[in-house]
Chains A and B, each alone.
Chain A
Amino acid sequence: MSTSSLNRSGFGSPVPLLAVLASGLVGIALALVFFVAPEDADQGLSQKIFYFHVPIALTAYACFGWGAFKALLLLWRKEERYDLESYVAVHQGTIFGALTLATGSIWAKASWGHWWLWSENQLVLFLVLFLFYSAYFMLRFSIEEGPRRANISAVYALFGIALVPVSFLAIRLAENVIHPTVFTREGPQMTGTMFFTFCVAWVAISALAYALYRLELLGKRLDSNLRELREALSS
């Protein structure tokens, strides 16, 4: 493991380039959202948050999915590195999940005057997922480092991804019977410019997530290599 990951995490790492690229894209996205995209007739400026909220939510799903994929690879191939990659992906997913809840809450307040809406399926789904993945970290940090922890984290990450569609179905079922829908929302009718802005924002946020993912991986691998070096020198 050591030499190959040293090469990956040493000089020639793509992280600085990714960071620059992501920052650039986010900058462009911000510019488009605030200066180019037309203002919504009904909701005004607050509608702009939609350009961030939805890509952030989609990115969170992608991170959880990526984490589950790496988890599967860990269980199948039994290579140590997949454990770290899965963990970092889940970590990023949780961060973006928290951001989804935050931006969604702001949007709800701006659009409907409430900080929280049980009728907003996406928000409720993210709340359940956020609870689930928060428990992931509690679980992980209460088990000693080693293959046991890696395996259990991986299984849990896979459960998470199964929970997504199941929860979504549950929430859909619940809204009609348990919490009757009070607010209706039309899907945003997007003009060409709006759609273009949305896509750019999505690409930008995805790039940001990927850059953060690689950055965190790099940091953790450097930490671990440093530790190994220290141990090798002291023995």
Chain B
Amino acid sequence: MISARALEKRYGRKRALRPLDLDVASGSFLVVTGANGSGKTTLLRLLAGLAGPSRGTLEVEVDRGRLGYLGHEALVYRELTALENLDLYGRLYRVPERRERIGMLLERFGLWEARGERASALSRGMLQRLALCRALLHDPDLLVLDEPFTALDVQGAALLDHQLAELGGTRTVVVSTHEPERLQRLASARLALT
């Protein structure tokens, strides 16, 4: 599903990702680890299509509409409510039975009561949960999550654990994290960046 050869990313003189070879089969669960500055975020952005390679090749056999991404920012509109944000993305991703799906996700991640709150009024943990809803809204085939456990409280983290367990095996998942032990059971492949 994902195939990279000598994949490299530079911003002018700064090298953000050293040359990398990678193969990820469909249905894998890849856990990416590495120190700060090793290129985890860069790699995930490349996989999501937010940046193009400087050198080398990268093939991701999934089009944009089937890809879900969670980055360091929530990627939402601060002055729209949680519900409105998801409705917007639901339309752009052409999610079938949009309202039902949004409702289901909001409930699953404990955001139903807060659905009418503006994103700017949400706590960091709630915002992260909203971002997860956004990433999962269109039932993506490939999920790319950059340190998704950040800012989540115990309950939120448990919800995410549960969600990932559900997805692992049927979907392809790439997760970067500082706590690889957490995903020990689910991981089918590991990548350590230096």
Contacts and interface: CB of A to CB of B under 8 A. Distances in A.
B12 interface: yes
A80 B13 CA distance: 12
Contacts of B11: 144-147
A78 interface: yes
A186 interface: no
What band does the interface of chain A fall in when counting residues whose beta carbon is under 8 Å from B? under 10
B71 interface: no
Contact of A145 (B13, B51, B52): B13
A146 B52 contact: no
Contacts of A144: 11-12
A109 interface: no
How would you classify the secondary structure of chain B's contact residues: helix, strand, loop or mixed?
Answer: loop
Contacts of B150: none
A147 B52 contact: yes
Nearest to A145: B12
Contacts of A78: 52
A8 interface: no
B54 interface: yes
A16 B11 CA distance: 32
B35 to A, nearest CB: 16
Contacts of B13: 145, 227, 231
Interface residues of B, number: 8
B41 to A, nearest CB: 15
B137 to A, nearest CB: 28
A149 B13 CA distance: 13
Contacts of B12: 144-146, 149
A227 B15 CA distance: 13
Contacts of B10: 146
Contacts of B14: 145
Contacts of A147: 11, 51-52, 54
Contacts of B54: 80, 147
Nearest to B55: A1
Contacts of A227: 13
B18 to A, nearest CB: 10
A144 B54 CA distance: 15
Given A145-B11, A147-B52, 13 more contacts: A80-B54, A144-B12, A145-B12, A145-B13, A146-B10, A146-B11, A146-B12, A147-B11, A147-B51, A147-B54, A149-B12, A227-B13, A231-B13
18 contacts: A78-B52, A80-B54, A144-B11, A144-B12, A145-B11, A145-B12, A145-B13, A145-B14, A146-B10, A146-B11, A146-B12, A147-B11, A147-B51, A147-B52, A147-B54, A149-B12, A227-B13, A231-B13
6 interchain residue pairs of minimum CB distance: A145-B12, A146-B11, A146-B12, A227-B13, A145-B11, A147-B52
